[in-house]
Structure 1
Amino acid sequence: MGESTVSSSSSAKANLERLENGPPIFSRALLEYVDRVWRSGEEGKLVINDIYGNPHEDETDPHWKPNDQEREGYGPYTSSISYKSYQALADDSRRWSSGDGATVDPEDEIDWPPKVPISIVCCSFFHGTGSFEEVHTAYQESSVQWLKSDACATLKEKLTAALRGTVPIDRIVCFALGNLQRDNDDASHTQHACIQTLREMLPKGDSGEAVPVWAQDPGYTDIDKRILTALDIVVVNDPQGFLAITPNTLVVSLSPDVPVRQIIADVQWPAALICDTVHADDTDFEKRSFIEFGGSKVPVSPYMTDPCSKRVQAMVEGCTSFAFPKSPHFGGTTVYLRKLES
């Protein structure tokens, strides 16, 4: 291992410690600002400080677009909000970035992306080729299978017992439950069906209505939104889901591509959380694997897209918890419920 790699790893660890011991990166004020600019197009500019306090500007509708041709089943490239985890912000290694999948020499004069927690990127999301009727039928079939499953029955039993003595829940906010149109993959259908089960189990409001549900996923299509609207699930734009979280919210987030747990740990600790099991962060910045991409081997970050952190650990510390019942669509998931203060 080269000396520069060891030095970079040591620097990254120091950066991570500094960031975790400092003020929250994803403050509510920052997300409210991003939401305001994103919705109103405030001069088309998003200005956010990097981790060193230097301002950086992003256009909300950047002129730059990828050269790739549109792929079958995918929509056009559009602007999207991107979040960097604490680990990604701390990481000093320069992994790759010529824009065409080729590796680059770390010593080359390259305009590396700034270390800002939130930025604007261009993305193309999977849109599928199925009709509304086909997707809706597939969802209904998966929903029936979920309701018949042992996992559903066990979840009802365990959650009913666990809700006693915990903070009341008056809303559900979901992140990254996925596009409903992927062929041969009913994980997203099952996860959305599970949300309906959770809603039915929670106490109704004074008016007798079930708790409201919000869902945020930039990959939702018009067909997805029609189906979710029929299920009385409100689809919100990024970052409104994060801003909708209150101390009495159940958050459901399953293997997202953004650091959802770190964001909510900074913005608002919810009453309950269903997510990938929280572990102590064991990021080894020296350990990198490689994959084939664009005809070249490129290194992969040694941390997840939704990594843990000290604040994430603190958020679930002292919670009542149980492993989500065994299911191929909820692997490695834990249910956390905040206890009532005595």
Structure 2
Amino acid sequence: HRGEYLQPTEEVSAGSPEVLHNWPEDLPSNRLGFARWLVRSDNPLTARVVVNRQWAALFGRGIVETVEDFGVQGMPPSHPELLDWLAYQWMHQDHWSLKALHGRMVSSRTYRQASERRVDVTAIDPSNRLLAVSPRIRLEAEILRDTLVRAAGVLSLKQGGAPVRPLQPSGITEVTFGSPAWNADKGEDRYRRSVYTFQKRTAPFAMFATFDAPSGESCIVRRSRSNSPLQSLTLLNDVMLLDLAQVVGREFANREASEAGGSVNPDVMQSALMTELFQRLLTRAPEEDEADALLQFLDQQRSHFAQDPAAAVAFVSADVAGGDANADRKDMIVRQAAWTAIARALFCLDEVQNRP
């Protein structure tokens, strides 16, 4: 009674909200019954909500834009017939398979169309609510990190276990109560998928917070999506991302050095390596002008570090480069520093952060 457990009044039994359809008599009044009630064929609300959330994840915006509110205060669907059809197909044909639902969405012409803005469409639908062109969406923080770790070739697919602590700028956790130190993991655990990253609500992981990941203090269905200079500065200077760029630099410098003096023309070899790195990050081959600009930048960085060996040594972390980064192999250090600069520049590309 009004929160006083010592003054009970009416006994409350399990049931469903009255605004929805009634609780069937053939279902037990427990959690198993509630689970079965959620997925009954005469309860389309569950399928609509889930389908709408999956649509929002792929298209950046739900058919019902207020994915967290399907009530009277939420926004009406932009394509109500499509939402009902997808929900029905998912329930009765796909048998609640998320894999089948994703396949149906990504194979649609709507998802596969170009994302280039059109003047005629912008004049009619400036917010692209009707999806006349494919929306461009910035990757979520965790997906962006995993994309870069995978492109560096070190993503660990190990499952389960304790949370891990990737690299992040010093002092982030020390400003909170108790001043706990963030001791970054080494080896494979440093490069595990972002879902395993240790989370502290009073001091969220720095890179995730910059890219609008929720702090964990409350349940967030629809994340905010900002676009700030701090995000580009993070991709350029964050120690975790610099570490990944150094991993890439070591790999490509070693491959370039192993082919040096062989039968392959050095320019052809550099172009092939640059194309491979570009494809890893952008999933497409570079245009001719893009490749030329990157190769020119590689030569500029190589000349810069050759003239300033101390800067090259400082730029190539010995913790990552291992035995290759030593004073007796200045050429290798210069190669690694130049390729590290290339990787760091590619990390900052708009096309890496956003998906068309």
TM-score by length of 2: 0.23
TM-score by length of 1: 0.24
Indicate the structure (1 or 2) with the bigger Cα radius of gyration. Answer: 2
Whose RCO is larger (CA < 8 A, sep 6+)? 1
More strand by share: 1
More helix by share: 2
